[in-house]
Amino acid sequence: MKDFFISYNREDRKWAEWVARHLEEAGYRTIIQAWDFTGNWVLQMNEAMRETPRTIAVLSSSYVKARYTQSEWANAFRLDPTGEKGLLIPVRVRPVELDGVLAQLVYLDLVGLDEATAVELLLKRVRGERGKPSTKPALPSSTSESVRATREASPAPKPVYPAFDEDTKRMIHARELLVRWRSLYSGQQDALRIAAEKARRWNRSLPMQFDDDVATVVDLASRVARDFRSLPVRELEFARTHGLMVHETVFWGQALDSVDVTHTSYGPGRIDEHKRVDEEMRAAGIPVDALPGAYAFEMVARVLESAVGLAQFRLDALPRGFIEDVGPGPSDDLGTYRSLLVAVVDDDAGVQLMSMDGRPEKLGTFGARKSTPLPQCAQQNTDSS
């Protein structure tokens, strides 16, 4: 008889193995498909659910959409509908909106946690203990105390932690997409910028006639919109927080759809037709409307400006994952220094501990993600130093 059956979707295998590993290190016995199943999968799944009194459901969007996982957690729910026995323990490992019965269950949320905290809360949940943290929480408004408490309680993340692996893969994929975009528009940034400036100018003051200049800008925006869709650009939306200048309507698709419509009506090949219609309207004394409209030019400008922003985005602006702490520094006794500061230096992925006594001196490096420096602050000590 085993203690836990680990129910998961194949997309979350690493998370399931992470859960199983820490449970077994704590003395529990688990059954997990990745390690224990051979032969007839259906029969072994049925036997596993019969042999294990408790089930851990590894929750993610992939899990709730999967067809076969429903019967796995539903069986445990049937045996303990009130949750008093703790036979079903939902563990959320990725952001997901739950509905139906799953939405009524109190799940253990590991999203965004460091590994030490995740392990602690997992073991407390399976033991039926309170989820009270083992470390004394700092005053929420005190950023420095909160950071110090977190660092003291949590060791450096291990590479086996699934969140680290997922983050690394996302960064690698993002770099591939950015390099691909640059290859598509190598040497064309000036043309994109000029076209974007024209579209922005026409958005403010509409052109009074349809000509080759308008058609060329619209045609370029249409090509960019097509390439945005093939990228796919939505997978880079997270990079906006790191300075990627791509308009949100490009990520969501509205600007791309608008450009497609504009191109159909006003792209190359339609100039002669529009000129003929304009001449007929003028001959009849009918005012000629500006073509296309201001909203269409706004969307054309957004797409072209986003193309420039993506082409100019620096690859090193993306987080480069975790680094190990480097230390100790020249002196273990920081009290020997009159000045201390933390700083991000150039493109270094770490946060430097430095002293400004005399010339700048690097004392050590904190393990950290590369981040954009925030506005600086200083404090005068009681002795006026």
Give the end-to-end CA distance of the chain in Å, rounded to a whole number.
67
Rounded CA separation 148/137 (Å): 11
> Residue 105 carries which DSSP code?
S
pLDDT at 328: 45
Per DSSP bridges, beta strands 351-355 and 361-366 are antiparallel
Comma-separated ranges of CATH 3.40.50.10140 domains in the chain: 4-112
User: Residue 183: exposed, middle, or buried by beta-carbon count in 10 A (0-12, 13-18, 19+)?
Assistant: exposed
pLDDT at 73: 81
pLDDT at 358: 78
Q: Which amino acid is at 358?
A: G
pLDDT at 194: 95
**Residue 351 main-chain phi, psi, to 5 deg:** -105, 120
pLDDT at 364: 74
CATH class of the domain comprising 4-112: alpha beta
**Average pLDDT by consecutive 10-residue portion of the chain (385 residues)?**
88 91 90 81 78 90 83 81 84 86 84 85 87 62 47 46 70 83 87 94 80 87 93 84 88 90 70 58 56 80 94 77 45 70 65 78 63 53 61
pLDDT at 299: 93
pLDDT in tens, 183-222: 888 789 899 999 999 999 988 887 777 678 888 899 999 9
Residue with tokens 């409209």: 293
